[in-house]
Every structure is written in structure tokens, then in C-alpha cells.
Amino acid sequence: MPAVPVLVVGAGPVGLTAALLLARRGVEVLVVERHADPYPLPRAVHLDDEAFRVLQAAGVADDVAAITGPMAGLRLLDRRLRPLVEFLRAPDDQPNGWPRGSLFHQPELEAVLRRAASAQPGLRLVTGEELTALTQDDGGVDVVLRRRADGAERSVRAGYVLGCDGANSTTRRLIGSSMRDLAPPDRWLVVDARAGFSAPVWPGVHQVSDPHRAVTFMPVTDGRYRWEFRLRPGESAGDLAAPGRLRELVAPFGVTRIEVLRAVEYVFRAQLADRWRRRRVLLAGDAAHLTPPFVGQALGLGLRDVHQLAWKLTAVLAGRAGEEILDTYQAERAPHARALIRVALLLGRLMTGGGRLAAVVRPGVVQVVRRVPAVRALGASSRTPPLRRSPLVERRGRPGRRLAGSLIPQPWVLLAGRRCRLDHVLGDGPARVELLPDGRLLVVAAGRPVEVTDPDGVVAGWLRAAGARAVEVRPDRIVGAAFR
Ligand SMILES: Cc1cc2nc3c(=O)[nH]c(=O)nc-3n(C[C@H](O)[C@H](O)[C@H](O)COP(=O)(O)OP(=O)(O)OC[C@H]3O[C@@H](n4cnc5c(N)ncnc54)[C@H](O)[C@@H]3O)c2cc1C
């Protein structure tokens, strides 16, 4: 009998979210983290509204909302910082119940997750120990953990292991999985700073398409700003980060003073692991995929991974599903991750690629490409592609083709006169949502039917547009099937 049903390797944002999602479903979890303290410097800075729902399911959305700021959209600028095109995100357009894009400081997000983890029954976090080896049999996984302070080793037996141990994942290596490149690596200088400006800064992402030097700039939160400068061949991060040179680079943005928090080379990679699972060991987050940041999906992809892993693993551990359900994990998640990485690569090339000629034709090309549905959807609406057909996504029939594989919207609804978000009514398990003739919704969750009022008719409009009357919603809020 395994000592712990699930062992999570890595207490980054993906590992901690996985642990919270599992523990809130009553699964006992041990999280093992190599470092004693959370990584103190900024890293990822953007999260979309779909991924925000995962944090909601993990019970931390309100605390995360308190440390994030809404992102106003994306502006593509020419080398003189004049706008070429703008994708705006209206602040009150929130089909998932949260701003379409949120900016945050990763150490603050991790602090929220750590606080929640320490208060969560059934979840134990051990720091200063790292996974070094594992072996598995039909009943579980034997994991070797090494204490970093003195090298002492101990062995733990777990039912399942989730490798959420980041880009250089040990778990990935131990299950014989390898990263496959979708594009060559791209070197950037990433600068996080506190700064003062001569004029107010627009609260969105500024992408400068200068053929000599692509730059991304955005205000983050609490007086922090992020610049990313593409490095040219032969150029080092140190060359650009030298104080005089850096001041020259940020001056066009109206900077009057700057205090650098982090200025390091960061290599943007586009990679997918070829194998996300070996029997009882699964990969999630940066351990399974890496993406260039042009659509801000690095962390969002990982949160989506663990949202579906949590319910699938819980079902297996509770005996409600056979282990074969875990085969659907990579089958569903890898194509979705690949699609978003490809959009990031396409947008990255479009916005920052090429030489002088590209700079000349870019304004015209941008106007054409912004009409490509996937680009327009991500640029303006943040909606990501639906999951493909799978044993758990029934895309047959018109309503199925339109809705299955995508998220049900999350409006505020009235339940017995009380206002709450729809996910609160859906609960942690599968649910069925049906449109009643009087316009109210019948939700059957955990076998219990309740009627709710959707005052703005968001779900009714969404169902009617697809010619559907009812949907089966999976615990990760993805529509499994839609019916007339
Ligand atoms: C140095 C760095 C800079 C980054 N900069 C950016 C950026 O500028 N922009 C951006 O969009 N994204 C950036 N990222 C990526 C972004 O931070 C991740 O997408 C995000 O953190 C989601 O990660 P995760 O939880 O999957 O992995 P991580 O946040 O990397 O967490 C993995 C955790 O696993 C732990 N771990 C690793 N190996 C073991 C082991 N054997 N045993 C136990 N614990 C282990 C690590 O210490 C770490 O805490 C950066 C990542 C890194 C590492």
C-alpha cells in the first residue's frame, strides 16, 4: 500500500496548483521541492481568463485577483513606437468570469499558492529535498529523495508521481522522455525593473517590431515593468544590461528613472515532451512543454494540464475510472499545447521577425493576419482552441462540433436568490447543464438537480448559437458532449 497516493515533484506554480486541486478533492498529496525558499525573481507575468478558472478551482482566485492587474490588450508598434495595430480587451468582457488577461509578479503568485497549500488539509510540502531516482511496479512508485543540506537519502512509496519540476525536469529524464524542438531557440535579454515615466504607461503589452531590435514592454504590477530585448547573434545579455546601454534602450519609452530587479538572458524555447506519462508517472507544466511568450501561455498551459490531471487521477484513485483514462491526458493536452505554441511562434515571427523588408511590409501583413480566426481569437478574446475529439470529447453532430472540447462560459448566476459564479454550482465533479423553456438553467451536479438564473442569458445565448439545449461538462469545465 503506497505511503502517499500522489507525490508531486516541484513546488512551482503548476505543482502547487496540482496539489491543491487534488487535496481539495480529498486526495492526500506530498509535494517535494528542491529549494528551501520560493524563487525570488520575476518570471512569467501573464495569465489568461481560462487559466484563472483553474486557480478558482484551486481555491485561490480571490487572493490571486488581489495581486494581479487586468491587461488592456496588445499594441504592435513600429521602431519609433508608433502604433501599427491594436488588439484591445474590453474590461467588462469576461466570459470566463475573470479579466481576459491578468498581469502578475510570479513570486507573489507563488506566495499565495504556498499560503493556501500550508492551510490545506491533506497536503504536505517538504522543501530542501529533491527527487533523484524512481522505480515503479504495478502497485506504485518508489521514489528516492535526497536532502540537499547533507545529502541524506530516503525512499518514499507513492501511488502516482506528478513531475511538475520545470524545464530541466528530472522526472522527465527518469521516465525516458525527451523534449522535441518545434523551432530553434531564441535568445532574449529579460529586464524586470521599477521605473518612473514622463507620461502614464498604457496597461497592456507593447510589442516593438524594429528589424534591428525586437522589444516587448509591459507594466506588470505595483510599479514593476518588464522589457524583453531580442539578442543578436554574438551579442551577450551583459552587453545590453550594462547600465549606460540599458538606459539608452529604455529611454524611448519615456523612462525617467530605473531600478533593475533582474536583467538576465532567457532563452525562449518551443518544445514538447515526446512522452507525458510512463505508467504511474506523469509530467505537467514546463516539464512537458515550453513556449515562447508571445501569447503569454507558458504558465496557462501548465495550469490546464493539472486541472484535467486532478480529476482524472482522482477518478482512478477512487476506483471510478480505469487507468486507461490517463492515456487521454497526453492525447488531449499535447495537441492543445502544440497549437498554442504554434500560434506563439507565428505571432512572434510576424511581430518581430525578418529584416528591413519585413519591416516595410509588416503593417499590411498584420492587417491580413489579424483576420486569421486563431490569431484574432487569441489577440482580442483570449479564447484558446478547443480540445480535439477524444474518448472524453464527443464532437459529433452540429452542437458537438461547435461546443465540445471548449470551456462552458462562467457568468454570475443566481442560486436560490444568491449571486455566485457558475463554477461554484458545477462543483468539482462532472455536471450537466440544460436550458429550460423559461430561460433558466437546470444544473445536475453530484447527482443533485438545481435551477439557476443566468440574468444576462450568457449560457442560453452560447447554447442557442450552437443549436444546443444541453451540455455535459467535465470537472475541468470542458464540454464533453452537447445535445439538441
Ligand atoms: C529562470 C527562469 C526564468 C523564467 N523567466 C520567464 C520569463 O521571463 N517569462 C515567462 O513567461 N516565463 C518564464 N519562465 C517560465 C515560467 O516561470 C514557468 O512557465 C512557470 O513558472 C510554470 O512553471 P512550472 O511550475 O511548470 O515550473 P517551475 O516554476 O520551473 O517550477 C518547478 C519547480 O520544481 C523544482 N524542482 C526541479 N527539479 C526538482 C527535483 N528533482 N526535485 C524537487 N524539486 C525540483 C524547482 O526548484 C521549481 O521550484 C522562467 C523560468 C525559469 C526557470
CA distance 211 to 201: 24
Q: Which atom of ligand 1 is nearest to the CA of 169?
A: 38
147: cell is 536532502
CA distance 226 to 192: 5
CA of residue 292 to ligand 1 center, whole Å:
14
Report the SS3 class of residue 31: strand
CA of residue 280 to ligand 1 center, whole Å:
23
What Cα–Cα distance (Å) separates residue 161 from each residue in 9, 75, 127?
7, 42, 17
> CA geometry: angle at 150 spanning 148 and 152, to 5°?
85
CATH, domain range 397-483 = 3.40.30
CA distance 477 to 475: 5
Q: Which atom of ligand 1 is nearest to the CA of 170?
A: 41
Predicted TM-score (pTM) of this structure: 0.95
Q: Is the CB of 292 under 6 A from ligand 1?
A: no
Give, using CA atoms, the residue closest to atom 11 of ligand 1.
Answer: 44
First to last CA, the chain: 46
Question: How do the pLDDT tens digits run along the chain, 484 residues long?
Answer: 678 999 999 999 999 999 999 999 999 999 999 999 989 888 999 999 999 999 999 999 999 999 999 999 999 898 899 988 888 888 888 999 999 999 999 999 999 999 999 999 999 999 999 999 999 999 999 999 999 999 999 999 999 999 999 999 999 999 999 999 999 999 999 999 999 999 999 999 999 988 788 999 999 999 999 999 999 999 999 999 998 999 999 999 999 999 999 999 999 999 999 999 999 999 999 999 999 988 888 999 999 999 999 999 999 999 999 999 999 999 999 999 999 999 889 888 877 776 655 666 566 666 666 666 656 665 666 788 899 999 999 988 888 889 999 999 999 999 999 999 999 999 999 999 999 999 999 999 999 999 999 999 999 999 999 999 999 999 999 999 999 8
Q: Is the CB of 15 under 6 A from ligand 1?
A: yes
Q: Is the CB of 10 under 6 A from ligand 1?
A: yes
Q: Is the CB of 105 under 6 A from ligand 1?
A: no
Q: Which atom of ligand 1 is nearest to the CA of 298?
A: 19
Q: Is the CB of 34 under 6 A from ligand 1?
A: yes
What CATH class has 4-70+94-179+271-340? Answer: alpha beta
Angle between helices 106-119 and 13-24 (to 10 degrees): 30
Q: Is the CB of 273 under 6 A from ligand 1?
A: no
Give, using CA atoms, the residue closest to atom 12 of ligand 1.
Answer: 44
In eight-state DSSP terms, residue 375 is H
Beta strands in 209-280 (DSSP E): 215-219, 224-230, 255-273, 277-278
Q: Could you please state the CATH topology (level 3) that the domain comprising 182-269 is classified under.
A: D-Amino Acid Oxidase; Chain A, domain 2 (3.30.9)
What are the structural domain ranges in the chain? Answer: 4-70+94-179+271-340, 182-269, 397-483
> CA geometry: angle at 22 spanning 16 and 24, to 5°?
100
